[in-house]
Amino acid sequence: MPRISKRIIATLQPAEKDYIVWDDQVAGFALRVWPSGRMSYVVHYRANGRFRRYTIGHHGPWTADKARDEAIKILARVKDGNDPNSERGEERTSPTVSQFCKIFVERHVKTHLKSTTQAEYQRAIDLFITKKIGSRKMAAVTHSDVVTFHHTYRHIPYQANRTLGVLSKMFSLAILWGVRTDNVNPCRGVKRYKEQKRERYLAAEEHQRLGKALDDARSTIPEAVNAFQLLLLTGCRLREIQRLKWEYVFLDEGVIRLPDSKNGARTVQLGESAVGLLKSIPMIAGNPYVITGRKDGGHLTDLEKPWRRIRKEAGLEDVRIHDLRHSFASDALELGEDLIMIGKLLGHRDLKSTARYAHLKREPIQRAVKGIDLKISAALATSRVTSPTSVD
């Protein structure tokens, strides 16, 4: 039994029947020579008491050394109790990633997730997952494949991480539903990219500029102006105001009761200005929404376009709509509210979500440092004055 090499293969001639040339380095690894002259690398093994032959691939696309390395990996799987031929059969019948995405959306996304989250999942599937690995078999996707997939979107780390989360959920359910019989989630252990959190809030002077820009725009886009003012005064999320219905508003109590939000039902407390603003907004017959759109009975769907116009007018072109929520939180901190109270105002589920706002404003920290500095300096000065004079 020679070591299968390029030199040995060059001496082999086809015969009337196919025959096997065994390798002397890896037991079970061989080259099968067909009467047509075609040659295939194979590996022989026993699984469940049966003799099995696994075809690695044809000579040409596969070299002897590459095939030998693959044979070693296959035999290692056999030693671990696996049957590579059975796995190959499961892989052939396995749905593609694109096919499983449709099952995933119908059975999980549409059934268990909120509409906003459904849209995020569908976007990750349509724009990233199916485009890159949609043709791959679910049973064949490896950890290395996922690492490569994630690396492809390293220039958009936030989206890369969110898409990886969707993909990981898909594979977890593929295991649960019997599509991945190896019980391996190839997304596990893939390191997420570091995400840079934005730190943007409105200073007092910026609030004034924004207020003027909103007043100037009220005559042309009153619905959008109402939305932005409510966002400023309540700290609500964009969709909570965008889809706010009159039936959720209780002006006599000074509250908004949202039946559903990112973290479930919650009550939004209103200040006098917010109550006054809501009282000034006319109710449109047949339209349940506070912020009405162009379509009868609908809400205003696009607030990004009017926001770009208003922030440009105010000279705040780096401010996003979500930064209005940041400003609400940081202003509350500056007024002395603790994180627990701010979390309740913002509708956070846990303190971790609120903690990120604690460093948004530097003024209170600077005032605290100056106060401590003055106190310690005064104490040191007093100490120098009252310390006994040394005697020679």
Residues 100-120 pLDDT 10s: 999 999 999 999 888 878 989
Structural contact between residues 301 and 293, judged by C-beta atoms closer than 8 angstroms: yes
269-275 average pLDDT score: 87
b/e map of 323-337 (b: 16 or more CB within 10 Å)? Answer: bbbbbbbbbbbeeee
Q: What is the mean pLDDT of residues 32-54?
A: 89
Residues 12, 172: Cα–Cα separation, whole Å: 48
Supply the DSSP symbol for 107. Answer: I
Which of 18-32, 35-49, 227-241, 348-362 has the least mean pLDDT?
348-362
Q: Which amino acid is at 56?
A: I
Q: 185: which residues sit within 8 A by CB, 6+ positions away? A: 168, 171, 172, 175
Asked whether the beta carbons of 325 and 360 are under 8 A apart, the reply is no
What is the residue-averaged pLDDT of the chain?
85
What's residue 157's pLDDT? 92
pLDDT at 359 over 60: no
What pLDDT does 139 receive?
84
Please work out, in degrees rounded to the nearest 5, the angle formed at the alpha carbon of residue 61 by the alpha carbons of 58 and 41.
30
Q: What is the pLDDT of residue 221?
A: 94
Average of per-residue pLDDT across 124-150:
92
Read off the tokens for 2.
């020679």
pLDDT at 308: 94
What residues contact residue 308 under an 8 Å CB cut-off, 6+ apart? none
19-22, strands of its sheet edge to edge: 19-22, 29-33, 39-47, 50-58
pLDDT at 328: 75
Burial tier of 169 (Cβ tally within 10 Å: 0-12, 13-18, 19+): middle
**Tens of pLDDT along 222-253?**
999 999 999 888 888 888 899 999 999 999 99
Joined tokens for residue 8: 């040995």
User: Of 371, 370, 360, 368, which is closest to residue 333 (Cα–Cα)?
Assistant: 360
Confidence of residue 66 (pLDDT cuts 50, 70, 90): very high
- How far apart CA 67 and CA 127 sit, in angstroms, is 36
**3-state helix vs strand vs coil in the chain, percent to 5:** 55, 10, 35
The pairing of strands 50-58 and 255-258 is unpaired
